[in-house]
Structure 1
Amino acid sequence: MMPSRRAFFRQSASVALFPSLKPLSESYFQEVARYRLGDSAQALASDEDFWALIQRAYTVSPTILNLNNGGVSPSPTLVQEAVERYFRYSNEAPSYYMWRVLDQGREPLREQLAKVAGTSPEEIAINRNATEALDTVILGLPLQKGDEVVVSNFDYPNMMSAWRQRELRDGLKLNYVKLPMPCEDENQLVKLFVEQMTPKTKVVHLTHVINWSGQVLPVRKIADEAHKRGIEVLVDGAHSFVHLDYKVPDLGCDYYGTSLHKWLSAPIGTGMLWVKKEKISKIFPLVPNEQPQSDNIRKFENLGTRPFFIEQAIGQAIQFNNSIGAVRKYERLFYLKNYWAEKVKDLPGITLYTSLKKGYSGALAVVGVNGMTPGQLESALLTRFKIHTTPIDKEHVKGVRVTPHVYILPSDLDRLVSALTILSKENTDKLAKAGK
């Protein structure tokens, strides 16, 4: 029999009253997973009782409102405790417990990640971040002088640095797609990428959710067009993994990399690489091992001594994420973005650079205030209102990026709405007096 809603919150209250109790017990996960099980994820997206309980799993700052979770997200308490526990365990006899005990936990962890990604464990490598995962492919692909690669003007800087290094070192040619922001026309986006494909194109690089604006690209449609032409596809999933609701094979790509310390809330410095099984042997590892042309995905994990205590705590993050559920999580994140964005989009002097439609955005959005540079807006939000965002100044996108996570509540976002309303009025009045 399903426990009552009252019992559900009685348990959470006991945790608050008795902090010595383990914050996240097995019954907690069961209750989260079963809460309003028959209701739609969209209906649950605005159930603040449920999401207040999720918030209690995090150590949220009472002073700073953190709306830069897109850079790196905090971990819930059970993940923090796992890192600390594994760290202390390692230090009892590091060479023994790290190499002979914790290192053996990678295979079960690989299987857990594969289930979340919807792939085979034999296609998953565990590493430190999206940069390492994607650079492994970019620098490991057997490309030659004259080969062409399609990229966009909004791809992430670290990935572009890797492609430009290959351009400089190996004579590759990069063909750039100039993306409009925001864009709510999938056919236009597909067309822009197809127009840059030529008979010499070997790879298309796609950023699933663009960090500069929150734009979601129609990756599967672009990938299908690339494959029709014999072109491989590399996807940067740093901002889309366990944020949007999908499995990696749904994207139709050949290679995929992501960070786990963003939307999974795994420990800082964890990431994942996925390579289609038949492609593994052709990619040279970033850190060489004895068999660089092996078809074993583990060749990409030859990183030497590293903090196994961080890596192993990924499992607790997966447990927490699974209890919420992929669809429920996406619906909540989309709801939070639209909650604040709908309230400010028509204010005088406000520019929203992100779509409010499903399929074109998730939790990320960028907002600008006329008369303020991105740096000035970011500084004002932090110093005057104690709201932490990140400035965005890329092409025509000029503002701050707002990225709420599952522990953020609408009442938190009301602070942002209030701050933007004040700044909008101040700068509109200032510009009016200056005759601009």
Structure 2
Amino acid sequence: MHNRRGFIGGAAAAMAAMSGAANANGARASGASFAARYDVDRSIVNLDAAYYGAMTRTTAAAYRRHGEWVNRHNALFLRSALPGPTRDARLQPATDATASLIGAKPDEVALCAGGTEALYGLIVNYRLLKSGDAVLMADVDYDEMQHAMAYLESSRDIRVERMTVPEPATAANILAAYDEALLRNPRIRLVLLTHVSNRNGLVMPVREIVDMARRRGADVILDSAQAVGLLPVDVDALGVDFMGFSLHKWVAAPLGTGGIYIRRNRLADIAPWLGNHIRADDDVRARVPTGTVDFAARLTVPHAIAEHLASGPERKLAHLSELQARWVAGVSGVAGLQIVHPQEPDRHAVIGAFRLPKQSSWPDAQRAQKVLLEKHRVLVVAKQGLASGPVLRVTPALFNTEAEIDRMSAAVRAERTLFT
């Protein structure tokens, strides 16, 4: 039987032997030691960890080893023709490690190409909608997941309800807004909920919204693409039955890794992916595509999770939060600059956003991104979708140094008159 405590203990023991791992006594790693674990291009200050967190040097080496092994054994591995464990048995540790990471059982989790793929599978294949029902989504939700919800409207006789998360985004304001939206349309049966917004780092009060929706007869599909590996995620504590997430962001696994979670007693409420019968209907793996994937990436997942755990998730989060606080302090004296991410404790996590003075439109945000990149060699990301307007998103990574954060702040200060 899968044992979460045993996995974590084993991961820490394994990581103690790895080059660049956290030391055995658990002392807090310095920012310099975090950055030293990465081999990244530093010609540009890259503040886009919300897209891809990048593998550490040791995880990248493990990925190369697995790639060489898969290439050497090719169809012998893919056909389970090698002596010893079958292909599925060799991949099982990745599922076990991923399930342990979110407090789930291994038969409730299937690996997939990332949060987007998992959430498409959950949203589009959700079986319980009937003609005349409604679904709910918000401005902070990820674009592609909003597209998936809109697809339900065009493919089934249901209605999409849209809501705006109020700013300032306090827990009280958020809960009141969801309560009002659910009260406004009692036919809402499905809610898309984003755990951590990719637009402004807003952390939702997930458990409270899940409980609220359940009392009103609605299910929640949780988008945890930006949460797993950044914040503590436990599916039982959150009360969720359906969740999609990525591993290549904050866990720093190879690109194209993520997972779908479906609580065991709810599996039948999500149809197999496009009628997939390669896996049995009672197998969660039938809910994701079954084509040939990057098996080397999946074989590397246990290593990435082990390194994540041994590095100390709390230490990682604390360090990233310090980097966020550093850039905010560095631009705080710019008159007219707006810090957009929430300020209430526990309502934001590392991902931040701002607007330059008098920046108001999507072309403005795009222009600011271009100027900062081409003139100052600093990458921040123009993002639209918030009801309050486009922003410039800043997402520090573990590979960023304090000097790089200061370069970003200096670049923003230098462009404070870009739109004046």
Shared fold (TM-score greater than 0.5)?
yes
Which residue does 1:403 correspond to in 2? Answer: 395
Distance 1:276 1:247 in 2: 12
- Residue identity in the other structure for 1:196: A
Q: How far apart are 1:371 and its partner, in Å?
A: 4.1
Question: Structure 2 vs 1, CA of residues 291 and 383 (structure 1 numbering), >3 Å: closer, same or farther?
Answer: closer
Q: How far apart are 1:222 and its partner, in Å?
A: 0.7
Which residue does 1:74 correspond to in 2? Answer: 54
**Are 2:294 and 1:307 aligned?**
yes
Q: Encode CA deviations 1:155-212: one digit per residue, 9 max, x unaligned.
A: 11111111111101101111112112441x2122112112222432211110111111
Moved more, 26-35 or 410-419: 26-35
Please say if residues 182 and 215 of structure 1, whose CA atoms lie closer than 8 Å, have aligned partners that are also in contact: no
Please say if residues 135 and 286 of structure 1, whose CA atoms lie closer than 8 Å, have aligned partners that are also in contact: no
**Are 2:270 and 1:247 aligned?**
no
Which residue does 2:116 correspond to in 1? Answer: 131
**Are 2:20 and 1:35 aligned?**
no
Question: Structure 2 vs 1, CA of residues 193 and 298 (structure 1 numbering), >3 Å: closer, same or farther?
Answer: same
Q: How far apart are 1:301 and its partner, in Å?
A: 4.4
Question: Structure 2 vs 1, CA of residues 112 and 346 (structure 1 numbering), >3 Å: closer, same or farther?
Answer: same
Which residue does 1:9 correspond to in 2? Answer: none
Q: How far apart are 1:398 and its partner, in Å?
A: 2.5
Distance 1:136 1:121 in 2: 18
Distance 2:20 2:268 in 1: 40
**Are 2:283 and 1:296 aligned?**
yes
* Mapping 1:10-409, distance limit 5 Å: 26-28=17-19, 31-32=22-23, 34-36=25-27, 44=28, 50-100=30-80, 101-142=86-127, 143-183=129-169, 185-197=170-182, 198-290=185-277, 294-372=281-359, 373-394=364-385, 395-409=387-401
Distance 2:215 2:24 in 1: 41
What secondary structure does 2:198 align onto? coil
Question: Structure 2 vs 1, CA of residues 356 and 343 (structure 1 numbering), >3 Å: closer, same or farther?
Answer: farther
Distance 1:29 1:277 in 2: 38
What secondary structure does 2:260 align onto? strand
Stretches of structure 2 lacking an aligned partner (at least 5 in a row) = 1-14, 81-85
Distance 1:199 1:312 in 2: 45
Question: Structure 2 vs 1, CA of residues 259 and 27 (structure 1 numbering), >3 Å: closer, same or farther?
Answer: closer
What secondary structure does 1:366 align onto? strand
Q: How far apart are 1:354 and its partner, in Å?
A: 0.7
Please say if residues 221 and 240 of structure 2, whose CA atoms lie closer than 8 Å, have aligned partners that are also in contact: yes
Question: Structure 2 vs 1, CA of residues 160 and 109 (structure 1 numbering), >3 Å: closer, same or farther?
Answer: same
What secondary structure does 1:93 align onto? helix
Percentage of matched positions with identical amino acids: 25
Q: How far apart are 1:25 and its partner, in Å?
A: 7.1
Q: Encode CA deviations 1:7-58: one digit per residue, 9 max, x unaligned.
A: xxxxxxxxxxxxxxxxx8715466435232xxxxxxx5xxxx6221121111
Distance 1:334 1:168 in 2: 41
Distance 1:138 1:382 in 2: 36
Question: Structure 2 vs 1, CA of residues 374 and 220 (structure 1 numbering), >3 Å: closer, same or farther?
Answer: same
Moved more, 331-340 or 96-105: 96-105
Question: Structure 2 vs 1, CA of residues 291 and 92 (structure 1 numbering), >3 Å: closer, same or farther?
Answer: closer
Q: How far apart are 1:254 and its partner, in Å?
A: 1.5
Indicate the structure whose relative CO is greater, using CA pairs within 8 Å and at least 6 residues apart.
2
Q: With structure 1 as the length reference, what TM-score do the two structures score?
A: 0.85
Which residue does 2:83 correspond to in 1? Answer: none
Question: Structure 2 vs 1, CA of residues 217 and 139 (structure 1 numbering), >3 Å: closer, same or farther?
Answer: same
Q: How far apart are 1:326 and its partner, in Å?
A: 2.1
Distance 1:353 1:405 in 2: 19
Which residue does 2:9 correspond to in 1? Answer: none
Distance 1:276 1:330 in 2: 27
Question: Structure 2 vs 1, CA of residues 284 and 67 (structure 1 numbering), >3 Å: closer, same or farther?
Answer: same
Q: Encode CA deviations 1:241-288: one digit per residue, 9 max, x unaligned.
A: 111223232221110001111111111111111111101122112243
What secondary structure does 1:212 align onto? coil
Distance 1:256 1:405 in 2: 24
Distance 1:130 1:419 in 2: 32
Question: Structure 2 vs 1, CA of residues 344 and 175 (structure 1 numbering), >3 Å: closer, same or farther?
Answer: same
Q: With structure 2 as the length reference, what TM-score do the two structures score?
A: 0.88
- Residue identity in the other structure for 1:113: T
What secondary structure does 2:30 align onto? helix
- Residue identity in the other structure for 2:144: N
What secondary structure does 1:313 align onto? helix
What secondary structure does 1:126 align onto? strand
